[in-house]
Amino acid sequence: MNAWIVSIGYELLMGQVVNTNAAYLGQRLTTLGFDVQKIVTISDQIEQIEQTLQQAQSRVHLVVATGGLGPTSDDLTKKALVDFFGGDLQLNQQALEQVKRFLQLRDQQLTQLQYEQAMVPSSARVIPNPYGTAPGLWFEQGGTVFVFMPGVPFEMQQMFEQNVEPLLRRYFDLPQVYVQIVHTYGKLEAQLAEILKDFEAQLPRQVKLAYLPSPEDIKIKLWTYGPDANEIRDLVEEQVAKLRRILGDTVWGVGDVTMPQVVLDLFVNHGLTLSTAESCTGGNIAHLITSVSGSSQYYKGTVVAYSNEVKKSVLRVSAQDLDKFGAVSQPVVEQMAQGVRSLLKTDFAVATSGIAGPTGGTPEKPVGTVWIAVATPERVFSSKFRFGNRRDINIRKSSAMALYQLILRVKQYLGLAK
């Protein structure tokens, strides 16, 4: 079954709003078993909308569109739908009651514009929207199903998961889908592709592979379709096991996990404690760690030692080493890790010191130079990295590398490293 995703709105074309809806729908539809062939972004113009629907009709089994269903003058999707599918705008009592309930819960009065939200094309099947005032719409024409949802991401996602997805499952004869994600860090996409060249060549024909890079990691996605859920799961998991053997410790997790979650599981399962000392990352590592529920079981806290004075007075970093080697150096970052481990009395500590940029670099230490240290109960490990020129990306990469290095050192300490 093939599908198109259509995003409607000037704000998307002008870059004022990031099109997260298309990414979300692409993932959800693929997981359901649809082959998403095209993602289209168009303006709020009746001609544009009708032209896109005409192109999709009879070419694909499903069109899912978002945007243009609101109450303001620039929301023209419903008018285009009446032109294309026929009928006229009529008051839908079910939609009106939903709008009233939504407003009553917020102590708001029904306005004319909100009343008009319940005016829907008579040719449509109404999809309830419990989180907003714009109902969704379902049409069938020319062998194609068309689904229209509001553009507000939270409303759209809730509508899709609660109401649209069950309808799609009942309407279409969809195959079973099995997807697995292998998380890697420490190698570039091109390096991974070279290492996995033979692996990819030997993949079963029905198993697909994709690289999904980000500043935090490179995900390797493996997936396949088929009639038997157990059979396709075993097929993909066999390839995942091969992948893990080839890549070793480059793989830090598999499935729907994050680095902070992996860190939490490692520390809590083995009764260990952690502290952090951050300079160039400015508390971002602490933020990532504490974003996971349960982190208080193992994480004691952080020292954001942004200035040399704090490095010296709180973390006991040698003033002589700061003068001789500078803040972005191996001796300093190692002392930061040892200092916070001693201060907060933890089993492990991780520290960062670097030049996030865009200013502050030198020929010897250009922007993107970062030292990361991990203090264990036995010794201190440290490494220098060179990331890039963008401050935000450097902070994200440094934070991810710090957590990755921490995972490696904890596994080595526990005898779990591959």
Q: Residue holding tokens 């993949």?
A: 203
Token pair recorded at residue 179:
């997807």
pLDDT of residue 73: 57
| Residue 275 exposed, middle or buried by CB count within 10 Å (0-12, 13-18, 19+) | buried
- Do residues 144 and 270 share a domain? no
- Amino acid identity of residue 292, one-letter, is V
- Do residues 21 and 150 share a domain? yes
Rounded to 5°, the CA angle 69-173-130 comes to: 30
- Do residues 372 and 394 share a domain? yes
Q: Residue 245 is part of which domain span? A: 176-254
pTM: 0.79
- Do residues 224 and 297 share a domain? no
Domain count, the chain: 3
Q: Are 276 and 346 in contact (CB under 8 A)?
A: no
- Do residues 9 and 84 share a domain? yes
- Do residues 202 and 323 share a domain? no
Query: pLDDT (tens digit, 0 to 9) for every residue of the chain, 418 residues total?
Result: 999 999 999 999 999 999 999 999 999 999 899 999 999 999 989 999 999 999 999 899 999 999 988 666 556 788 899 999 999 988 888 878 887 887 777 777 777 777 777 888 999 999 988 788 889 999 999 999 999 999 999 999 999 999 999 999 999 999 999 999 999 998 999 999 999 999 999 999 999 999 999 988 999 999 999 999 999 999 999 999 999 999 999 999 999 999 999 999 999 999 999 999 999 999 999 999 999 999 999 999 999 999 999 999 999 999 999 999 999 999 999 999 999 999 999 999 999 999 999 999 999 999 999 999 999 999 999 999 999 999 999 999 999 999 999 999 999 999 998 7
- Do residues 231 and 274 share a domain? no
Last residue of a domain, one of 236, 254, 272: 254
Last residue of a domain, one of 129, 146, 171: 171
- Could you give phi then psi for residue 350, rounded to 5 degrees? -130, 140
- Do residues 238 and 316 share a domain? no
- Do residues 34 and 51 share a domain? yes
- Do residues 126 and 224 share a domain? no
- Amino acid identity of residue 204, one-letter, is P
What's the Cα-to-Cα distance from 87 to each of 84, 93, 120, 121, rounded to whole Å?
Answer: 9, 17, 10, 6
Provide the CATH number for the domain around residue 403: 3.90.950.20
User: Pairing state of beta strands 144-149 and 62-66?
Assistant: parallel
- Give, as one character, the DSSP assignment of residue 95: H
Last residue of a domain, one of 171, 199, 217: 171
- Do residues 16 and 133 share a domain? yes
pLDDT of residue 74: 58
Q: Residue holding tokens 């290095």?
A: 405
Among candidate residues 169, 131, 167, the one with its CA nearest the CA of residue 150 = 131
* Euclidean distance between CA atoms 331 and 325, whole angstroms: 8
- Do residues 219 and 268 share a domain? no
